[in-house]
Amino acid sequence: MLGSIFQEYSLFEIWGPLWFGLALLIGYLYKKYIIHSPEYDIGPRHLKYFYTGLIMLYILQGSPFSIIADYYLFSALMVQMALTSFVVIPLLIIGLPFRWFKKYAWNHKLRMLIKIAGHPWVTLIIFSSLFTVYFVPSIFNVIHVHTLLLTIYKILLFLYAFFMWWTILSPVPRLNEVGPLARILYVFLASLALMPIGFFFLLVPTAHYPVYQAVAGEIFPAITAVYDQQLAGGILKLIQLSSFCFVMFKIVRTWDWREEDEGYAYNKNDRVVQGIVIRMDDKKD
């Protein structure tokens, strides 16, 4: 079944050499300028997260899976969009060392641009709006058939997903100045913001996307266009909530550790305040 579908496309379309080349280039630059640089402290954790995110990005956007997502299964498109927005981007951010962000964000001319364009609450509104509006049937059916418009829209969505995760993960705390409690609230509101579009897919009993309606059942005969939409809604909520619940758990754990460390003496003259070790001078009589 899949083999007959892919026969209609060229190798260039199936294997996405542009995405493959982009992934190779990013991987090469990461290895040359970050892994091999004495300036950054890179551990196995960074490598695992970054290269996992990079491989997933190619599989989702450049492999034969992208053909299925673009032309045959709406649920596959949702897998592509949700994994890119809620898994791939945070993996890439976590995979970069703190010193890299500090060099190119905190101590760089981009600092002011990031603070303005990536304002936490504005970013939350823009990302949620972009993601939701993309799937409004009347808008989706126009964007999806215009390659240039679709590319621009996805770049904007990717950019604001990055800014959203920048706030949540806080790789340079002094830049966004959002504390743990505010980040937990931020994640909660982000999950609420996408609930309407998720419930729309789950509850609406009619098909709204002609490009997928026309080929419904070609890959999985039992999946109608309506079932495909409903499956997409379930996939969106599963990936989004799993990602957000995991990061909320990590924020709470980190917060607990910091509070436990408050006032703890590492040496007799050391104290930890707000995660910073302060050395106290000995009192002299």
Per-residue model confidence as pLDDT tens digits over 6-46: 888 888 889 999 999 999 999 999 999 999 998 888 899 99
Contact indicator for 273, 259 with CB cutoff of 8 Å: no
Distances (CA, A) of 153 to 63, 81, 224, 237: 20, 12, 28, 22
- Cα–Cα distance between 211 and 141 in angstroms, integer? 8
Of 70-84, 172-186, 216-230, 267-281, minimum mean pLDDT range: 267-281
Residue 54: pLDDT over 70: yes
Taking the complete model, does pTM exceed 0.75, yes or no? Answer: yes
Classify 245 in phi/psi space as left (phi over 0), alpha (psi -120 to 50) or beta.
alpha
Q: What is the pLDDT at residue 174?
A: 63
Token pair for 263? 């006032």
Contact indicator for 150, 144 with CB cutoff of 8 Å: yes
What confidence category does residue 173 fall into, taking pLDDT thresholds of 50, 70 and 90?
low
- Cα–Cα distance between 65 and 79 in angstroms, integer? 10
Give the rounded percent of residues in the chain with a pLDDT score beyond 70. Answer: 85
